[in-house]
Chains A and B, each alone.
Chain A
Amino acid sequence: MPVNILMPALSPTMEKGNLAKWTKKEGDKVKPGDVIAEIETDKATMEVEAVDEGILARILVAEGTQDVAVNEVIAVLTQDGEDASAASAPAPAAKPQEPTPEAAAMRADQSAPPAAPAVMATPPSAAPQPTIAADPDVPAGTEMVTMTVREALRDAMAEEMRKDEAVFVMGEEVAEYQGAYKITQGLLQEFGARRVIDTPITEHGFAGIGVGAAFTGLKPIVEFMTFNFAMQAIDQIINSAAKTLYMSGGQMGCPIVFRGPNGAAARVAAQHSQDYSAWYSHIPGLKVVAPYTAADAKGLLKAAIRDPNPVIFLENEILYGQSFEVPKLDDFVLPIGKARIHRPGKDVTIVAWSIGMTYATKAAAELEKLGIDAEVIDLRSLRPLDTETIIASVMKTGRIVTVEEGWQQSGVGAEISARVVERAFDYLDAPPARVSGKDVPMPYAANLEKLALPSVADVIEAVKAVTYK
């Protein structure tokens, strides 16, 4: 039987990649372990090894091809005497042929889970996002450039490190590996090992070291590979970083940024999928930022690095590869604690942040077709929380739906609902509605994971409920 060789996934969130190079040509004999091709994403380059013995009968995707979907047939392997044409079925197989070593996305696992695009938890979207309302903090007529959230974060750090010698970045794999998620790509080369520091896998210890350094006036950026691992360090974040200014009567500040991906990625199950928005936004003495767009990621990370207080900067792995328009300004800094009206509307207010914005914006587009004009607020910061913007919107629309991936109990949506009820009760035409992650640990199975996360349909349903449609 001829064997189809499929485009492999390098990580749980990879949806497509580039076929950089074929290292074997048609007609070559291959045996298991032979490198047959090199593929790359914006995060990493990996070699594709043959699993079966045979002849590389046909190459279906030429080298240099961009954006090859995971599981697409890229070549056909035959045994002696077989006809390759029989195997070149266009439909992807159920699972990738080539298991590849994981691309550092999950250090706990030694092999990558096969990723099948049909069951990805989150809809892919690498295209620039349309219809974003103009940011009042960006001057009209500013030239825009398209870049990914990943590039925006990297640029923010690089710009601040150029500007201020006291800024340095530390964390697991941030230097020589170029970042587990490639957010620190190139920083080691530009700033050297003194300022881009690989740490051992000891979150509690290096978070404490960062805080101690910040007490002396240095401005550390502490990267957690994901915020799930920051639970190891949460004592230093809360008891030392957040409280010392108060406990010292204002003498000892802590200008530090803790950043990294927060919340669910894809198919990484309960211990690697938690959303910490509510946890950190509970704490006085912290600022908490959770951007959605690349522009906000850049402008707010620069603000966070300059902020004299400890800032929790919650990123999202699925957003890293998404592209947005970013203002081309020499020094683009946005204010922490200010929400942005992402889409103006009059019938209902949808409040979201980070990945929650993907559900909110898609729902708003669908709702438009149903004749419902939704106003989408991108909170951007969770502490300070821009209550004014929410209240003003609710006074206009009379209805509110909050969207978050975190759990409902004591969640950010619960807090927003309480504030709206306290301050705009008489303006409400319906009880506030919350769309959230389900009240379960994140399951691994693709179908269950999808059920556990909020969806565009959930948001539409909630909006219909509060608008009595």
Chain B
Amino acid sequence: MAATRTKAAPADVKSASKTSDGPARGQRPAASKSAGRAPSTKSAAAKTPVLTKDQELSAYREMLLIRRFEEKAGQMYGMGLIGGFCHLYIGQEAVVVGMQMASKAGDQVITGYRDHGHMLATGMSANGVMAELTGRRGGYSRGKGGSMHMFSAEKHFFGGHGIVGAQVSLGTGLAFANRYRGNDNVSLTYFGDGAANQGQVYESFNMAALWKLPVIYIIENNRYAMGTAVTRASAQTDFSRRGLSFNIPGEQVDGMDIRETYAAGLRAMEWCRAGKGPYILEMQTYRYRGHSMSDPAKYRSKDEVQKMRTEHDPIEQVRERLLKQWQVSEDELKKIDAGVRDIVAESAEFATNDPEPDPSELWTDILK
């Protein structure tokens, strides 16, 4: 691992994909949409990519599964079946689903504690995730991890981390392992706008760029770090620029539009797989629910949330296109809805009736 410096990002980084119907985040100069590249004057840059009908259908189903699963998890938390902390992903579904559509088998995923969506998107079973939420023996961690700490070696999902920002160094380590082994896997390392201010993030940026590690830093900017608005916590609110001093290119992406997240994911993965080092995607998104189940979210207006839900909902956008553009019938969509509801209902049933771990489990898995 020679300490060669990465060159300044060349101008062939594809353009930003932020479109006019992205979340309203105030005026931002157009040049900042894609950091770390020569300004492009190509008008095609802003063109929204088109997905196939099958891709739209698949994205719809995947996002709906996360949405319904999280709604059920919220409900079960209210019933006292889920304990501790529970951070729901509702509103942000297009981020992880788009990235997964753009990834290939073998790519690793790691994230923080708002992680249920990532697990479902990597193909982990709803039963196993929900049973972990209820602390039962059929959970992915056999009931010993809970909402924030789940893993699947089989699906290359590396957690589920409860310490804000820790997953960024860990995810960089996954990329280090890919580089060490000489494979073409990419580490998809997710963190929020809050974690983006942690010191170890920049330590990791430095080493990832220095060693040209194949890692995509996906900053899910949902505009609030717990209750603190981005503008009150971050001196630089354009997170795509956070890697500039390390020569890491970045883009701002409309994280509510699956077409944009998918296309940005493809660009980032191409960059990483070409051995050019890390890439930053700032996904501009929004969470509809509070930070956790115990957060009444009084730091923002109901109107703000409502506006986002009605105008930018990631699932509704796909649904609209399926109905109008692809002539998919309501009945067909209802079938998908019903299938998703069945999976979620079954997971709730399983997670409610599955026994708690055997008391002997207290003493297992401490050391290998």
Nearest-Cβ distance from residue B168 to partner chain A, whole angstroms: 7
In the complex, are the beta carbons of A208 and B173 less than 8 A apart? yes
In the complex, are the beta carbons of A212 and B149 less than 8 A apart? no
Q: Residue B176 at the A interface, CB < 8 A?
A: yes
Interfacial chain B residues near A209, Cβ < 8 Å? 169-170, 172-173, 176, 204, 207
Nearest-Cβ distance from residue A288 to partner chain B, whole angstroms: 12
Which stretch, B49-57, B137-145, B234-242, touches the partner chain A? B137-145
Encode contact with B along A320-360: 1 for CB under 8 Å, 0 otherwise: 00000000000000000000000000000000000000000
Q: Residue B276 at the A interface, CB < 8 A?
A: no
Q: Which of B1, B149, B168, B169 contacts A247 (CB 8 A)?
A: B149
Q: Residue B367 at the A interface, CB < 8 A?
A: yes
Q: A200-B203, A205-B207, A308-B368 are in contact. Are A249 and B141 (CB under 8 A)?
A: yes
Which stretch, A110-118, A121-129, A132-140, A250-258, touches the partner chain B? A250-258
- The CA-CA distance from A206 to B202 in the complex, in Å, is 11
In the complex, are the beta carbons of B368 and A247 less than 8 A apart? no
Q: Which of A202, A213, A247, A253 contacts B180 (CB 8 A)?
A: A213
In the complex, are the beta carbons of A212 and B171 less than 8 A apart? yes
Which stretch, A29-37, A235-243, A373-381, A430-438, touches the partner chain B? A235-243
In the complex, are the beta carbons of A284 and B169 less than 8 A apart? no
- The CA-CA distance from A423 to B110 in the complex, in Å, is 45
- The CA-CA distance from A250 to B170 in the complex, in Å, is 18
Interfacial chain B residues near A218, Cβ < 8 Å? 177, 180-181
- The CA-CA distance from A198 to B206 in the complex, in Å, is 13
Q: Which residue of A lies closest to B169 (CB)?
A: A208
Interfacial chain B residues near A55, Cβ < 8 Å? none
Q: Residue A199 at the B interface, CB < 8 A?
A: yes
In the complex, are the beta carbons of B177 and A245 less than 8 A apart? no
Q: Which residue of A lies closest to B152 (CB)?
A: A251
Q: Which residue of B lies closest to A194 (CB)?
A: B1
Q: Residue A396 at the B interface, CB < 8 A?
A: no
Within A15-73, the residues touching B (CB, 8 Å) are none
Q: Which of B142, B170, B181, B207 contacts A249 (CB 8 A)?
A: B142
Nearest-Cβ distance from residue A401 to partner chain B, whole angstroms: 30
Within B157-214, the residues touching A (CB, 8 Å) are 158-163, 166, 168-177, 180-181, 199-200, 203-204, 206-207, 210
Q: Which of B142, B145, B169, B174 contacts A204 (CB 8 A)?
A: B169
Q: Residue B364 at the A interface, CB < 8 A?
A: yes
Nearest-Cβ distance from residue B356 to partner chain A, whole angstroms: 13
Q: Residue B79 at the A interface, CB < 8 A?
A: no
Q: Residue A85 at the B interface, CB < 8 A?
A: no
Q: Residue A285 at the B interface, CB < 8 A?
A: yes
Q: A212-B158, A213-B180 are in contact. Are A251 and B141 (CB under 8 A)?
A: yes
In the complex, are the beta carbons of A245 and B367 less than 8 A apart? yes
Q: A200-B210, A249-B140, A285-B367 are in contact. Are A210 and B2 (CB under 8 A)?
A: no
Q: Which residue of A lies closest to B208 (CB)?
A: A209
Encode contact with B along A164-207: 1 for CB under 8 Å, 0 otherwise: 00001000000000000000000000000110011110101111
Q: Residue A211 at the B interface, CB < 8 A?
A: yes
Encode contact with A along B301-321: 1 for CB under 8 Å, 0 otherwise: 000000000000000000000
- The CA-CA distance from A210 to B365 in the complex, in Å, is 21
In the complex, are the beta carbons of A197 and B174 less than 8 A apart? no
- The CA-CA distance from A248 to B154 in the complex, in Å, is 12
**For the side of the interface on B, what is the size category?**
35 or more
Q: Residue A244 at the B interface, CB < 8 A?
A: yes
Q: Which residue of A lies closest to B204 (CB)?
A: A205
Nearest-Cβ distance from residue A463 to partner chain B, whole angstroms: 35
In the complex, are the beta carbons of B174 and A247 less than 8 A apart? no
Nearest-Cβ distance from residue B216 to partner chain A, whole angstroms: 14
Q: A209-B169, A213-B176, A213-B177 are in contact. Are A204 and B199 (CB under 8 A)?
A: yes
In the complex, are the beta carbons of A212 and B173 less than 8 A apart? yes
- The CA-CA distance from A212 to B206 in the complex, in Å, is 16
In the complex, are the beta carbons of B368 and A208 less than 8 A apart? no
- The CA-CA distance from A249 to B175 in the complex, in Å, is 24
Q: A208-B172, A244-B151 are in contact. Are A284 and B366 (CB under 8 A)?
A: yes
Interfacial chain B residues near A212, Cβ < 8 Å? 110, 158, 169-177
Q: Which of A210, A253, A287 contacts B173 (CB 8 A)?
A: A210
Q: A199-B207, A200-B207, A206-B203 are in contact. Are A235 and B166 (CB under 8 A)?
A: yes
Q: Residue B24 at the A interface, CB < 8 A?
A: no
In the complex, are the beta carbons of A251 and B170 less than 8 A apart? no
Q: Which of A206, A214, A285, A308 contacts B207 (CB 8 A)?
A: A206
In the complex, are the beta carbons of B365 and A200 less than 8 A apart? no
Q: Residue A216 at the B interface, CB < 8 A?
A: yes
Interfacial chain A residues near B1, Cβ < 8 Å? 193-194, 197
Nearest-Cβ distance from residue B139 to partner chain A, whole angstroms: 7
Nearest-Cβ distance from residue B359 to partner chain A, whole angstroms: 15
- The CA-CA distance from A200 to B140 in the complex, in Å, is 36
In the complex, are the beta carbons of A202 and B140 less than 8 A apart? no
In the complex, are the beta carbons of A248 and B145 less than 8 A apart? yes
- The CA-CA distance from A235 to B139 in the complex, in Å, is 26
In the complex, are the beta carbons of B204 and A247 less than 8 A apart? no
Q: Which residue of B lies closest to A246 (CB)?
A: B365
- The CA-CA distance from A287 to B153 in the complex, in Å, is 23
Q: A206-B207, A218-B180 are in contact. Are A240 and B161 (CB under 8 A)?
A: yes
Interfacial chain B residues near A247, Cβ < 8 Å? 141, 144-145, 149, 151, 159-160
- The CA-CA distance from A362 to B38 in the complex, in Å, is 69
Q: A193-B2, A200-B206 are in contact. Are A309 and B367 (CB under 8 A)?
A: yes
Interfacial chain B residues near A210, Cβ < 8 Å? 173
In the complex, are the beta carbons of A251 and B153 less than 8 A apart? yes
In the complex, are the beta carbons of B153 and A204 less than 8 A apart? no
In the complex, are the beta carbons of A287 and B176 less than 8 A apart? no
In the complex, are the beta carbons of A215 and B174 less than 8 A apart? yes
In the complex, are the beta carbons of B3 and A208 less than 8 A apart? no
Nearest-Cβ distance from residue A399 to partner chain B, whole angstroms: 33
Interfacial chain A residues near B367, Cβ < 8 Å? 245, 285, 287, 309
- The CA-CA distance from A214 to B173 in the complex, in Å, is 8
Interfacial chain B residues near A246, Cβ < 8 Å? 144, 365-366
Interfacial chain B residues near A250, Cβ < 8 Å? 142, 364-365, 368
Nearest-Cβ distance from residue B202 to partner chain A, whole angstroms: 8
Interfacial chain B residues near A216, Cβ < 8 Å? 108, 173-174, 177
In the complex, are the beta carbons of B151 and A251 less than 8 A apart? yes
Nearest-Cβ distance from residue B55 to partner chain A, whole angstroms: 30
Q: Which residue of A lies closest to B174 (CB)?
A: A212
- The CA-CA distance from A285 to B180 in the complex, in Å, is 26
Q: Which B residues have a C-beta under 8 Å from some C-beta of A?
A: 1-3, 108, 110, 139-145, 149-153, 158-163, 166, 168-177, 180-181, 199-200, 203-204, 206-207, 210, 364-368
Task: Provide 23 A-B residue pairs closer than 8 Å at the C-beta atoms, listed in order of the A residue.
Answer: A202-B203, A202-B206, A205-B169, A205-B200, A205-B207, A206-B207, A208-B170, A209-B173, A210-B173, A212-B172, A212-B177, A213-B173, A213-B174, A216-B173, A240-B166, A246-B365, A246-B366, A248-B159, A249-B143, A251-B152, A251-B153, A252-B159, A284-B366
Given A247-B151, A252-B153, output 15 extra A-B contacts at Cβ < 8 Å: A168-B180, A200-B206, A204-B199, A206-B169, A208-B204, A212-B176, A215-B158, A215-B173, A218-B177, A245-B366, A247-B145, A249-B151, A252-B151, A285-B366, A309-B368
Nearest 10 CB-CB pairs, A to B? Answer: A212-B173, A208-B169, A205-B203, A249-B142, A202-B203, A212-B170, A249-B141, A247-B149, A248-B151, A308-B368
